[in-house]
Amino acid sequence: MMVLEEKDILKQKLKEVFGYAQFRGNQETIIQNLIDGRNTFVIMPTGAGKSLCYQLPALIQEGLAIVISPLIALMKNQVDQLNAYGVNARFLNSTLSKAEITKLKKDCANDEVRLLYVAPESLTKEENIQFLQKIKISFVAIDEAHCISEWGHDFRPEYRKIKTMIGQLGNLPVIALTATATPKVQIDIQKNLQMEEADVFMSSFNRKNLYYEVRPKKETKKQLIKFLRDHKGKSGIIYCLSRKKVEEIAQLLNVNGFKAAPYHAGLDPDVREKNQDDFLNEEVDIICATIAFGMGIDKPDVRFVVHYDVPKSLEGYYQETGRSGRDGLEGICLMFYSHNDLNKLEKFNKDKTVQERENARVLLQEMEYYAESPVCRRRQLLHYFGEEYDQDNCGMCDNCVHPRERFDGTDAVKLVLQAAKQTNERFTLNHLVNVIRGVEDEYVKSYGHFDLDIYGKGGDEEADYWKSVIRQTLIYQFLEKDIENIGVLKVTKRGEEFLKKPYSIELAKDHDFTTDIEDEEVSSEKAPVNAKSYDEKLFEMLKTLRKKVAKDKDLPPYVIFQDPSLEEMATTYPTTKDELAQVNGVGMGKVNKFGKEFLELIEKYVEENDIETASEVIVKTSVNKSKAKVQIITQIDRKIDLDEIADSIKMTFEEVLTEIENICYSGTRLNLNYYIDQVVDKHKQDDIHDYFMNAETDSLDAALNDDSLADYSEEDIRLMRIKFLSEYGN
């Protein structure tokens, strides 16, 4: 045991190296336990200070501390942080060259390195084991220890070999750490590491500063943009199911004025590293990442975590949301949910073994229950991890802030408990539902459960009703899960007492996500031709205003704003200059020129009609983001002939003219006088100008069919239309 003076060294090092005056929670006890050479198992939520539990002892003890970590990103992040504190920490993984590995091994042999982060795959290499056998090692830390368990949310087969690999290095103390472990996973980790005798330190899973919310996947992009505008400039992470979706959402956000970057395993490592560093250094506010690729980002001021798609498990969800508000301040956890996401995840599992498929299905089912349940989300999460939360209202989740409709569930709970008892507490939720509803499937037949008193007594209600009742009966601790037999439900002592002496219990109705339509994900059918998605009343008011403004300015109405732009305004209700500039065919030039009265009209209309002003996401067309656009604008500014521009960017003249029209219609002013004066006679220019000044529309077909322009070429008319709109509209 350490003497008192040596104990003081811990606090001294804590202050000297990490800058903290006090330990948090049970950090000091954990560190002391490891220094005393005892195997230690730590279950501590993200942001509670797990890494310090092995980083500090590594500085106190002689020898090299080995940290086994599954994520290259996490290794780099932690090594960078330790180096910034003046601690010589390094990593050994597949990103290093042979020369770098040789130098690293030499530094370790010379006792210059305090912590060595190692990927489990690197430990399987014989040359690395032989090298480490020659080094004095203080202890081994296994980070993200849930990867060991097949019941964990991120199972990695190579983690199963860790105990054997550590054994080859000698009889070393081991500290295993995880942020997410259900009681089942805890037992699995300890068995696999042969650490049944380890001292277990479990911190509360309750992150009091996090707000949990689940929304249906309906107009998801619109909802997302509205949410991000409400949190503009704040740091956040958005998780998506696929790499493609990550790229799409990152691009969408940038187009709509946010600083965002993608992050997934398919990116070039240099790009991925730059995007991570930009996020940490606040060069970008939002990182979009795949759920499957753990980011390992230790950033204290992440203000929101959005799950654009449903995660694979509650453990994954809890860990990912845990990256929000690690400094104890605001942290918002928003998940968009749909059954379609669950179906996609089910398909991902089709090539797995039967057992792995079953495990994955159970985890997905828990995710479904969490999303659809009306019970306090904090209470559900804590219950899932074996911790009970007894408050009726946490005040920090959507279910508590906006409670669902409630009903008397006394008789329903009684039926559920009787069903569990009469089937000898050996069956899963689905089987109990079938018995209660009187559904005679193969299991009910083979066990003869159609003869039970309880059979069919709840046949008037749907299966989803009974699933919800059973879930709430579990959360209120009348039922419990059997740890050894996954999915099996048993009656608790509280449940037994309730059956003997029933009392009134209120349950709540589940959320119903079955009627929600996933906009961009599912619906590919075109709307009927005559369907109007815009606000027709506002559209007519905008047209009247356009006519008035046009008359005052002595311009045709279409020059002010075209009909499609007015329709979009009547859909998105823009009330700021920035929002109006996002409308297709507008741009900031037109906003400054004509926008004031239109914004005032929309703002007044919105206020009088109590309309939410979340602007529809305007995904800019590729022309607006293309290299061609930039090159064309630059070369027009330099007064290069359009034929030469076409040659330099390998386009036809026709294609360049179309690009220029697109640029003009998106609200950018172009001065083509230098070119037009060369190719269109002055009197022709005057005639075409007069036509557009008096025309009802800027339609090219209408101009070509007008008798007054019969002698003019299509090219002349198109060039003059660009000149006219640039001068008067943009």
Is 90 exceeded by the pLDDT of residue 363? no
Last residue within a domain, chosen from 488, 508, 528: 508
DSSP string, 399-424: HHHSPPPEEE-HHHHHHHHHHHHHTT
Is 60 exceeded by the pLDDT of residue 629? yes
Tens of pLDDT, residues 438-456: 998 888 999 999 999 999 9
Tens of pLDDT, residues 578-617: 888 878 777 777 888 888 999 999 989 888 887 766 444 4
- Give the distance, in angstroms, between the CA of residue 301 and the centroid of all CA atoms in the same chain: 16
Question: 520 in a domain, yes or no?
Answer: no
Q: What is the CATH number of the domain that holds 168?
A: 3.40.50.300
Burial of 506 (0-12, 13-18, 19+ CB in 10 A): exposed
Question: 134 in a domain, yes or no?
Answer: yes
Place of tokens 């073994």: 353
Q: Output the pLDDT for position 53.
A: 95
DSSP string, 233-296: T-EEEEEESSHHHHHHHHHHHHHTT--EEEE-TTS-HHHHHHHHHHHHTTS-SEEEEESSS---
Last residue within a domain, chosen from 356, 386, 416: 386
Is 80 exceeded by the pLDDT of residue 625? no
Question: 249 in a domain, yes or no?
Answer: yes
Do 321 and 197 fall into the same domain? no
Higher pLDDT, 722 or 698: 722
Higher pLDDT, 541 or 293: 541
Residue type, 150: E
Most confident of 106-120, 178-192, 469-483, 650-664: 106-120
Is 90 exceeded by the pLDDT of residue 306? yes
* Average confidence (pLDDT) over 699-721: 86
Higher pLDDT, 726 or 63: 63
Strands 479-481 and 489-491: antiparallel
Place of tokens 């995904």: 619
Tens of pLDDT, residues 114-149: 999 998 888 888 899 999 999 999 999 999 888 887
Question: 527 in a domain, yes or no?
Answer: no
Q: How far apart are CA 151 and CA 189, in angstroms?
A: 10
Confidence of residue 425 (pLDDT cuts 50, 70, 90): very high
Confidence of residue 3 (pLDDT cuts 50, 70, 90): very low
Question: 394 in a domain, yes or no?
Answer: no
Do 196 and 215 fall into the same domain? no
Confidence of residue 106 (pLDDT cuts 50, 70, 90): very high
Do 253 and 329 fall into the same domain? yes
Residue type, 633: I
Last residue within a domain, chosen from 492, 508, 524: 508
Do 254 and 349 fall into the same domain? yes
Is 70 exceeded by the pLDDT of residue 93? yes
Do 54 and 195 fall into the same domain? yes
Do 596 and 631 fall into the same domain? no
Q: How far apart are CA 203 and CA 283, in angstroms?
A: 34
Is 80 exceeded by the pLDDT of residue 47? no
3-class SS of residue 386: coil
Do 293 and 359 fall into the same domain? yes
Q: Output the pLDDT for position 71.
A: 77
Residue 290's φ and ψ, nearest 5 degrees, are -80, 145
Percent pLDDT > 90 in the chain is: 35
Q: pTM for the complete prediction?
A: 0.64
Residue range(s) defining the domain that contains residue 588: 536-608
Q: Which of 40-49, 99-108, 253-262 has the lowest mean pLDDT?
A: 40-49
Do 632 and 662 fall into the same domain? yes
Tens of pLDDT, residues 547-587: 898 888 888 888 888 888 888 888 878 888 888 887 877 77
Do 604 and 656 fall into the same domain? no
Strands 406-408 and 506-508: antiparallel
Q: Output the pLDDT for position 379.
A: 92
- Strand ranges inside 564-647, DSSP E: none
Distant-in-sequence, close-in-space partners of 417: CB < 8 Å, separation ≥ 6:
473, 478, 479, 491, 495, 498, 499
Do 362 and 433 fall into the same domain? no
Q: Could you give the residue ranges of the DSSP H alpha helices within 373-492?
A: 377-384, 398-401, 410-422, 429-437, 442-446, 463-475
Tens of pLDDT, residues 454-485: 999 999 999 989 999 998 998 888 999 887 78
Q: How far apart are CA 157 and CA 538, in angstroms?
A: 60
Question: 522 in a domain, yes or no?
Answer: no
Token pair listed for 7: 């104990």
Contact 615, 579 (CB under 8 A): yes
Q: What is the CATH number of the domain that holds 573?
A: 1.10.150.80
Q: Which of 10-14, 180-184, 621-625 has the lowest mean pLDDT?
A: 621-625
In the Cβ-directed half-sphere of 338, how many Cα atoms lie within 13 Å?
Answer: 20
* Average confidence (pLDDT) over 628-650: 85
Q: How far apart are CA 137 and CA 165, in angstroms?
A: 14
Higher pLDDT, 161 or 492: 492
* Average confidence (pLDDT) over 74-78: 81
Do 153 and 270 fall into the same domain? no
Do 380 and 426 fall into the same domain? no
Q: How many structural domains are present in the chain?
A: 5
> How many residues can be counted in the chain?
730
Most distant CA pair in the chain, distance: 104
Q: How far apart are CA 162 and CA 629, in angstroms?
A: 55
Q: Please state at what angle helix 4-13 crosses helix 27-35, rounded to 10 degrees.
A: 120
In the Cβ-directed half-sphere of 118, how many Cα atoms lie within 13 Å?
Answer: 28
> How big is the chain by its Cα radius of gyration, in Å?
32
Q: Output the pLDDT for position 2.
A: 47
Question: Could you say which DSSP state residue 397 is in?
Answer: B
Distant-in-sequence, close-in-space partners of 194: CB < 8 Å, separation ≥ 6:
163
Confidence of residue 5 (pLDDT cuts 50, 70, 90): low
Question: 469 in a domain, yes or no?
Answer: yes
b/e map 82-93, b = 16+ CB within 10 Å: beeeebebbbbb
Question: 681 in a domain, yes or no?
Answer: yes
Q: How far apart are CA 250 and CA 259, in angstroms?
A: 9
Q: What is the CATH number of the domain that holds 452?
A: 1.10.10.10
Q: How far apart are CA 240 and CA 310, in angstroms?
A: 8
Q: How far apart are CA 150 and CA 75, in angstroms?
A: 23
Is 90 exceeded by the pLDDT of residue 152? no
Q: Output the pLDDT for position 515.
A: 54
Q: How far apart are CA 253 and CA 248, in angstroms?
A: 9
Q: Output the pLDDT for position 297.
A: 64
Torsion of CA 358, 359, 363, 364, to 10 degrees: -30
Residue type, 246: V
Token pair listed for 198: 């380890």
**Residue of 94, 79, 169, 102 whose CA lies nearest to 129:** 169
